[in-house]
Amino acid sequence: MQGNRILVVDDEPDITELIGLYLEQDGFIVHTTDNGEDALRLAKELKPDLIILDIQLKSLDGIEVCKQIRLESGVPILFVSCKSDDTDIIHGLDVGGDDYMTKPFSPSQLVARVKAHLRRQLQLSERTPDEVLAFEGVVIDLQARTVHVYEKEIALSAKEFELLVCLAQSPNRAFPLDELYNVVWGADSMGDTRTLMVHISNLRKKIEPDPANPVIIVTVRGVGYKFNFKEGITHVQR
């Protein structure tokens, strides 16, 4: 993991310097900027392995930066912001953020979260599943990373796809929130469960016939979520 390139975008010099110091101590190559325009330019030129992105930036805010990056790249984006309201977190994740941390935060916890995301990316790149998960009305191609719901292809973000695969590989099993976060984000109970819940909500909006009354990904009260298919799973090997 040493040598991974991290782009830090924050307009508070003290925070940028502190984050950079902690990341460099762990062997990361750190690039920094304090504005959105430079962030877009550096994201294209450097092709970083992960971006730490503040929301409140000069001229071009982090939300718009994330939107534009997502048009071309699936690089993990970790939002950091002093905004802690649920609506702010939901907005950041809706536009393509993978994770969200509120200020003030522990620099060591931030580094741990960065490592977890990078480990997860490495695991995904090494995995070469040659399999299709087929249910009545839902078909998930693990290699092509496509999802069809009632024959219509659904565009999912990287995290939404991983969440769906995790749940669909064990249909009707109730997954606790911490376990789902650990599997999909690669961090053992370090994350804000709101991050997971927002991604579940977004996933439901895309695949459920009626997102307000989900029948594919259902809530198991007191536990978490499950993929609700009574007929079981069909593994189609190529």
Which three-class secondary structure string do you get for the chain? CCCCEEEEECCCHHHHHHHHHHHHHCCCEEEEECEHHHHHHHHHHHCCCEEEEECCCECCCHHHHHHHHHCCCCCCEEEEECCCCHHHHHHHHHCCCCEEEECCCCHHHHHHHHHHHHHHHHHHHHCCCCEEEEECCEEEECCCCEEEECCEEECCCHHHHHHHHHHHCCCCCCEEHHHHHHHHHCCCCCCCHHHHHHHHHHHHHHHCCCCCCCCCEEEECCCEEEECCCCCCEEEEC
Q: Which pLDDT tens digit goes with each residue over 128-182?
A: 566 888 888 899 998 888 999 988 999 888 889 989 999 999 999 999 998 888 8
Residues of the chain above pLDDT 70, percent: 89
- Annotation: CATH topology of 128-237: Arc Repressor Mutant, subunit A (1.10.10)
pTM: 0.78
Percentage with pLDDT > 90 across the chain: 54
Residue 10 has pLDDT above 90, yes or no: yes
- Does domain 5-125 fall under CATH 3.20.20.70? My reply is no
Domain coordinates of the chain in residue numbers? Answer: 5-125, 128-237
pLDDT in tens, 214-231: 999 999 999 999 999 865
Query: In terms of pLDDT, which residue wins out, 107 or 237?
Result: 107
